[in-house]
Amino acid sequence: MYLLTIESTCDETAAAILTEELEVLASVVASQEDLHQQFGGVVPEIASRAHVESILPVIDQTVRLANLTLADLDAVAVANTPGLAGSLLVGLTAAKALALALDIPLLAINHLQAHVYACRMASGKDVFPCIGLIVSGGHSNLYRCEGPTDFTLLGGTIDDAAGEAFDKVASLLGLPYPGGPSISKAALDGDPKRYRFPRPMVDDKARLDFSFSGLKTAVRYEVHGTGKLTGEVNLDPQTIADVAASFQDAVVDCLVAKAELALGKTGYNTLCVGGGVAANGRLRERLEESAAKRGYELHIPPMSLCTDNAVMGAIAIERWKAGKFEDLSLDIYPGLERIRS
């Protein structure tokens, strides 16, 4: 069985070809990073136009890399929730066109479930049941994952996502987009203890939510002076490194604390981490320490499977096995509310 998976939820156009045994025959990711860099964040309209331009070449290249032709495909799956509406529509339309033209089944992928499934793909073994921590530019969520497609939301950000906070603080410090990699690079030479930024909600043991907006404002006040939100920023490289390191540690403290709390509350013994922020070296280090100390199993995929990709769309094989096919009325669901099971 050859499954083509398509991912276009945000600013990466990606496709992969997978088999029923979860073998990856080909995977292609076209990043739009360069297009959004000058704006310091993803511009939805630019993202959807770029998807339109790259979706067919990406699919073509994927099929060729797998040494197949379109006629060899047995099913097509597409991430239709959550994400940017315009971006989601491009992937969905391409998938529907292929399903119709090739007369093959169409399957839906929940992008957040796919991020957790990346841990299944990377580890080569069953990771369920687990706690899923999804930290990306758009989400910071904790899920109870009873199975690959059986998720319950335990908590999430009440304002900015973790990756969004990295991107905004980087832009404040004059560091390039995307902010996560720039901040972690700058932080390597910084003193994480120089500034004591707040750890919002960490002491609230009743909730599994995050809040990064106040932390971002605390950094802003540190950079511009208390009470001032704008102005010239003229920081020396050591101060930039110290702010970056102190900010990064504050975010990491929040993520680790709530992940540990979720494991404790549910009694689960496995933590799966996904999303672009999972590429953060400090977060990985701190979670590894936490797992070693508390004795739980930790899965963090390699960088290429943390950021958006179509390999994690292998989760559609689970739906294929369960006979959960879609028809051509399949729609997009940009918001979080629609976790399909």
Residue number, 66 or 133, with CB nearest to Zn ion: 133
Residue number, 164 or 260, with CB nearest to ligand KG4: 164
Interface positions, 163-192, toward ligand KG4 (CB under 6 A): 163-164, 166-167, 178-181, 184
In the complex, minimum distance from the CB of residue 74 to Zn ion, in angstroms, rounded to a whole number:
26
Select the span of 86-94, 182-190, 305-313, 325-333 touching Zn ion (CB under 5 A).
Answer: 305-313
Binding partner of residue 242 among Zn ion, ligand KG4, none, CB under 5 to 8 Å per kind?
A: none
Residue number, 87 or 270, with CB nearest to ligand KG4: 87
Q: How many CB atoms lie within 10 A of CB 188?
A: 11
Q: What is the DSSP letter of 64?
A: H
User: Which string of DSSP letters, residue by residue, matches 250-290?
Assistant: HHHHHHHHHHHHHHHHH---EEEEESGGGG-HHHHHHHHHH
Cα–Cα dist 38/131, whole Å: 36
Residue number, 29 or 98, with CB nearest to ligand KG4: 29
Cα–Cα dist 35/49, whole Å: 11
Q: Which two tokens stand for residue 217?
A: 């404002």
Q: Which of 306, 261, 303 is nearest to 116 (CA)?
A: 306
Mark residues 120-149: x for contact with Zn ion by CB under 5 A, - for none.
Answer: ----------------x-------------
CA dihedral 96, 98, 104, 109 (to 10 degrees): -50
Binding partner of residue 279 among Zn ion, ligand KG4, none, CB under 5 to 8 Å per kind?
A: ligand KG4
- Report the DSSP pairing between strands 24-31 and 12-19: antiparallel
In the complex, minimum distance from the CB of residue 83 to Zn ion, in angstroms, rounded to a whole number:
8
Binding partner of residue 82 among ligand KG4, Zn ion, none, CB under 5 to 8 Å per kind?
A: none
Binding partner of residue 277 among ligand KG4, Zn ion, none, CB under 5 to 8 Å per kind?
A: ligand KG4
Among 105, 137, 155, 301, binds ligand KG4 (CB under 6 A): 137
Cα–Cα dist 28/6, whole Å: 10
In the complex, minimum distance from the CB of residue 166 to ligand KG4, in angstroms, rounded to a whole number:
4
Is the distance from CB of 222 to CB of 250 less than 8 angstroms?
A: no
- Report the DSSP pairing between strands 24-31 and 130-135: unpaired
- By CB atoms closer than 10 A (0-12, 13-18, 19+), residue 67 is exposed
Among 186, 280, 301, 315, binds ligand KG4 (CB under 6 A): 280
In the complex, minimum distance from the CB of residue 300 to ligand KG4, in angstroms, rounded to a whole number:
12
Q: How many CB atoms lie within 10 A of CB 3?
A: 24
User: Is residue 5 at the binding interface for Zn ion, with CB under 5 A as the rule?
Assistant: no
Among 138, 190, 200, 301, binds ligand KG4 (CB under 6 A): 138
Cα–Cα dist 177/182, whole Å: 7
Rg (C-alpha) for the chain, rounded Å, is 20
CA dihedral 83, 87, 88, 93 (to 10 degrees): 180
The size of the interface with ligand KG4 (CB under 6 A), counted in residues, is 20
Binding partner of residue 334 among Zn ion, ligand KG4, none, CB under 5 to 8 Å per kind?
A: none
Cα–Cα dist 185/242, whole Å: 12
Residue number, 73 or 310, with CB nearest to ligand KG4: 310
User: Is residue 276 at the binding interface for ligand KG4, with CB under 6 A as the rule?
Assistant: yes
Mark residues 56-95: x for contact with ligand KG4 by CB under 6 A, - for none.
Answer: ----------------------------------------
Among 136, 141, 149, 211, binds ligand KG4 (CB under 6 A): 136
Is the distance from CB of 314 to CB of 305 less than 8 angstroms?
A: no
User: Which string of DSSP letters, residue by residue, matches 87-99?
Assistant: HHHHHHHHHHHHH
Residue number, 308 or 326, with CB nearest to Zn ion: 308
Binding site for ligand KG4 (CB under 6 A): 10, 136-138, 163-164, 166-167, 178-181, 184, 275-277, 279-280, 307-308
Binding site for Zn ion (CB under 5 A): 136, 308
